[in-house]
Amino acid sequence: MLEIKNLVKAFNGRPVLKGVSLQVGPEIKVVVGLNGSGKSTLLKVVAGILPADGGQVFLDGKEITSLPPEERGMGYVPQRPALFPHLSVRQNLLYGLRGKREDAAWVRQVVDLMGLGEYLDRRPAQLSGGYQSRVALARALIPRPRAMLLDEPLSSLDVAIRQKLWEEFHRVLRLLEVPVLYVTHDREEAERVGESFALLVGGVVQEVDSARQAFAALQSGVSA
Ligand SMILES: Nc1ncnc2c1ncn2[C@@H]1O[C@H](COP(=O)(O)OP(=O)(O)OP(=O)(O)O)[C@@H](O)[C@H]1O
Residue 65 domain-assigned (yes or no) = yes
- The finding on whether 41 has its CB within 6 A of some atom of ligand 1 is yes
Q: What is the DSSP string of 43-92?
A: HHHHHTSS--SEEEEEETTEE-TTS-GGGTTEEEE-SS----TTS-HHHH
Nearest CA to ligand 1 atom 8: 41
The pLDDT, as a whole number, for residue 71 is: 92
Q: Is the pLDDT of residue 119 over 80?
A: yes
Q: How far is the CA of 162 from the centre of ligand 1 (A)?
A: 23
Residue 212 domain-assigned (yes or no) = yes
Residue 17 domain-assigned (yes or no) = yes
Tens digit of each residue's pLDDT (9 = 90 or more) over 17-54: 999 999 999 999 999 998 899 999 999 999 999 999 99
Residue 131 domain-assigned (yes or no) = yes
In percent, the amount of the chain with pLDDT more than 70 equals 99
The pLDDT, as a whole number, for residue 160 is: 87
> Which residue of 16, 20, 42, 50 sits with most ligand 1 atoms within 8 Å of its CB, as the best mutation to test the pocket?
16
Q: Which of 64-68, 119-123, 174-178 has the lowest mean pLDDT?
A: 174-178
Neighbours of 85 (CB within 10 A): 9
Tens digit of each residue's pLDDT (9 = 90 or more) over 4-26: 999 999 999 999 999 999 999 99
**C-alpha distances in Å from residue 120, one per residue of 35, 54, 84, 91, 124:** 36, 42, 14, 8, 10
Q: Is the pLDDT of residue 83 over 90?
A: yes
The pLDDT, as a whole number, for residue 222 is: 58
Residue 96 domain-assigned (yes or no) = yes
Q: Is the pLDDT of residue 223 over 80?
A: no
Which ipTM value was assigned to this complex?
Answer: 0.95
Query: What mean pLDDT do residues 55-82 have?
Result: 94
Residue 224 domain-assigned (yes or no) = no
Q: Is the pLDDT of residue 203 over 50?
A: yes
Distance CA 50, CA 68 (A): 10
Number of domains in the chain: 1
The pLDDT, as a whole number, for residue 224 is: 40
Hey, what's the torsion of the CAs at 30, 85, 89, 134, to 10 degrees?
Answer: 20
Q: What is the CATH number of the domain that holds 128?
A: 3.40.50.300
Residue 13 domain-assigned (yes or no) = yes
The pLDDT, as a whole number, for residue 72 is: 95
Domain that holds residue 17: 2-219
